Structure 1
């Protein structure tokens, strides 16, 4: 049996879905099957740059464009010197050079802008004529693909095999796939392209396919895969809109709606908490097995006892939906009552510059810091508590990591992770969800109450006790039971 986890894209600022797959990969390491991770989106950077950061082996990573080009996932080794060899008989002039790019002029109005990864390794090369972008060449160990532009719009991509021969071409309108020419076949649209890819994979009946990002994917591949492989889907977020659901009319999260409408095609739908299992089981008209498997795990429970009083931590993508701006305002307000209070924010994302500006606005840079990406396993125990302002966490991997470090928690009273991990007055505080305009006040009150009740001290024992269920061996056993004994469980 092989196990394939299906995603769309990946990048530097990975979301909870990518980290859930990372944890799953680690849980599968000692189980008796091979696991692969499929990525379906076009990526402008060598996928190995991103997957290396999460610890994937290259032979586990199946990027659709590499597979169909008969290329392995591989590190970038193509250098500036190799690229410049093509101009050995021509003169070129270096116009500009930085640590991240090199711009050269060849003849007339032709220019090349070479974008670098590190150590003179080439990421991509822009070919510019008369100030207009003509094409972009992407490299790993050799030329991987070329993007062709007309009037500034992407019109075509050409993909190459390891011998430098053209493998296939794909055409676009408004960046959407219109037609693919491959292996003497013409594939119209994105779904036909996906279907061809899964045909090339030659999946066996006993293979398991785990869908992590179904939106705009599952509609195309379900008819091909149903009854041909063992199908699973993982729910990574709130699966429905509670406020807009009335009686038997459920307004599903559109990411999972097609899954739920075709639930009978799946051997199991996997959720992260027992509470979500109960709710979804009561709502599904078309029944299938619903299994609770946490999306993450912890290796060990921290034994460290010393920590910095009044020092809070949060970790997430720097994204709007995490409401870090409201958290910053709450910490500023709470500091009036808790003078030694500090907050460290870990993670990267598109909101970084806005958050930096907000910290400056409140003159808070001496007690609120953006700390970027770091391995937090040894960092969490130094803090007195973990805090989150997110109102839409399906599970909350960073919450779990903090729990394993023995941290008491502060979070909004929402499904699912917060209610799974936080017992108000025992190992933290769940504060009432309010309109966003009122959240800073609610958060500030929760912070003040947290320290007044000395939950930073009392809550550590409770958090460590709760964390035991999420030890690696316990979570791996759940996956093993599902994948290796799934048919037997279904019969029972």
Structure 2
């Protein structure tokens, strides 16, 4: 039995979907459940350093384009020396450039640019461009061997890609992709495949899945129909993870619901899906209610957290009246509201402090706000750090986010016994904050920023002014966190497997 997890792409700035997969991978390993994580995008750099970066093991990864070859997922070990050994003649000039190395031949008529894979060592080369008379004619991609090449025809305004060739370890051709605009034709030794959608279907069937396996869709754009066809052919059990808000609330009426376009195909074809997974019980209940209300038929949903904590963390040396927040420093997180709220609250609690952890586009703005208010002595921007053992140094946690599908930082905060302040928005805040019990859920005024800031400031003062209540809230946070201990999340995945494979 194998649990296959299907995604599209991954990058160095991975989204919550990839991090959720990485957490899941860790759970599967603890459970000794065999799992594979599939990526179907074409990548212009080695996939392996990106997947390793967030915790995947190489043997867990399946890349659709490489699946049809015997090349393994690997770090980049191909070197400048390996490349130079392939040259038929000595370069007339070699230059070190910011991207890697530049080689010129035949009075600069032929130029080769070798791009350094900075994640895999000082001499690793993952991409080589070849130019003739100034025109790009070929790109070669490498890991430990050449994995694929792209061929170009010179064009007046752009380089025209017309073919990709994928290789086996020994350099033999595994298959070709011929391109005509956005259309592709895939030529194998024993068959021709006439579109990427058909390639996806052939790939899924070639995995050898059967009724004892599970296929989980994390992202299914362009792959949904192929997956449904594969299910009919293989009888694999198919599940869908709902990673974000699943419907458009402002446009939804009493008679019609507008699904999020990332989930519309799956929901409209729910009779072909064996189960769905949400990160919170609240979202699970809402989808179930909506399927009944809008006459969408039966649906099976599991609420399984996208993250977990291994243990509760006790803090014995918390800094009194200290707040922490942690997130991407992006506009929708409204960390600027927190800065303004703490400045207001500081007028009543003179030893109040806020530490802001994270990176993002708003960092400069936040620093400027802090400097303009002369608040640098009690509000600090701390950058990115591993916060596992840091939460417990603080007195409380605060969030200004207006949307949290789950909220890993919220979970980590309650696991460290922090009372929380946040807006009453779906789904994370409502999951981890019991209003008045372990913090405060504040009404969110969509078009009244000053009111939101004032309410945050008032909640800070209220929470920080009652030591006895704070201790009660701290204990309640620990109680909430117990449901998210890794062992309990492990049990949920084991139960899902039992029900789906043995039903």
TM-score by length of 1: 0.88
1:157-168 map, 5 Å? 157-168=164-175
Rate the CA distance shift 1:191–1:453 in 2: closer, same or farther, 3 A.
farther
Match of 1:388 in 2: 399
Rate the CA distance shift 1:88–1:27 in 2: closer, same or farther, 3 A.
same
Q: Tell me, what secondary structure is at the counterpart of 1:466? A: helix
User: Which of residues 353, 371, 378 in structure 1 aligns to 2:383?
Assistant: 371
Shift of 1:420: 0.9
User: Which of residues 214, 224, 229 in structure 2 aligns to 1:218?
Assistant: 224
RMSD over aligned Cα atoms: 2.8
User: Which of residues 239, 246, 250 in structure 2 aligns to 1:239?
Assistant: 246
1:284-303 map, 5 Å? 284=291, 285-303=296-314
| In structure 2, C-alpha distance between the alignment counterparts of 1:135 and 1:75, rounded to whole Å | 23
Q: Cα deviation per residue 1:92-141 (whole Å; 9 max; x = unaligned)?
A: 4233444x533343441424142332322123233345555443322111
1:319-468 map, 5 Å? 319-324=330-335, 326-328=337-339, 330-331=341-342, 340-346=352-358, 348=359, 352-360=360-368, 362-363=370-371, 367-372=379-384, 374-435=385-446, 438=449, 439-453=452-466, 457-468=471-482
Moved more, 461-470 or 236-245: 236-245
Q: Cα deviation per residue 1:222-270 (whole Å; 9 max; x = unaligned)?
A: 1222471111111112211222211131111111111111112222111
Match of 1:120 in 2: 123
Q: Cα deviation per residue 1:398-451 (whole Å; 9 max; x = unaligned)?
A: 221222122222222112121111122322222222226615555444444443
1:176-195 map, 5 Å? 176=182, 178-195=184-201
Shift of 1:457: 5.0
Match of 1:15 in 2: 15
Unpaired runs of at least 5, structure 1: none
Whether 1:169 aligns to 2:176 is yes
Rate the CA distance shift 1:93–1:338 in 2: closer, same or farther, 3 A.
farther
Whether 1:260 aligns to 2:267 is yes
Match of 2:102 in 1: 103
The answer as to whether partners of 1:328 and 1:368 remain within 8 angstroms in 2 is no
Shift of 1:375: 3.0
Match of 2:144 in 1: 141
| In structure 2, C-alpha distance between the alignment counterparts of 1:469 and 1:128, rounded to whole Å | 59
The answer as to whether partners of 1:239 and 1:252 remain within 8 angstroms in 2 is yes
Rate the CA distance shift 1:187–1:323 in 2: closer, same or farther, 3 A.
farther
Match of 1:273 in 2: 280
Q: Tell me, what secondary structure is at the counterpart of 1:91? A: coil
Q: Tell me, what secondary structure is at the counterpart of 1:221? A: helix
| In structure 2, C-alpha distance between the alignment counterparts of 1:105 and 1:395, rounded to whole Å | 53
Shift of 1:477: 0.9
The answer as to whether partners of 1:96 and 1:104 remain within 8 angstroms in 2 is no
Match of 2:61 in 1: 61
| In structure 1, C-alpha distance between the alignment counterparts of 2:494 and 2:338, rounded to whole Å | 39
Q: Tell me, what secondary structure is at the counterpart of 1:86? A: coil
Match of 2:483 in 1: 469
Rate the CA distance shift 1:8–1:437 in 2: closer, same or farther, 3 A.
farther
Runs of 4+ in 1 over 6 A off after TM superposition: none
| In structure 2, C-alpha distance between the alignment counterparts of 1:370 and 1:88, rounded to whole Å | 53
**Paired residues, number:** 482
| In structure 2, C-alpha distance between the alignment counterparts of 1:131 and 1:336, rounded to whole Å | 65
Match of 2:3 in 1: 3
| In structure 2, C-alpha distance between the alignment counterparts of 1:244 and 1:204, rounded to whole Å | 40
Shift of 1:332: 5.5
The answer as to whether partners of 1:241 and 1:251 remain within 8 angstroms in 2 is yes
| In structure 2, C-alpha distance between the alignment counterparts of 1:147 and 1:314, rounded to whole Å | 46
| In structure 1, C-alpha distance between the alignment counterparts of 2:448 and 2:101, rounded to whole Å | 47
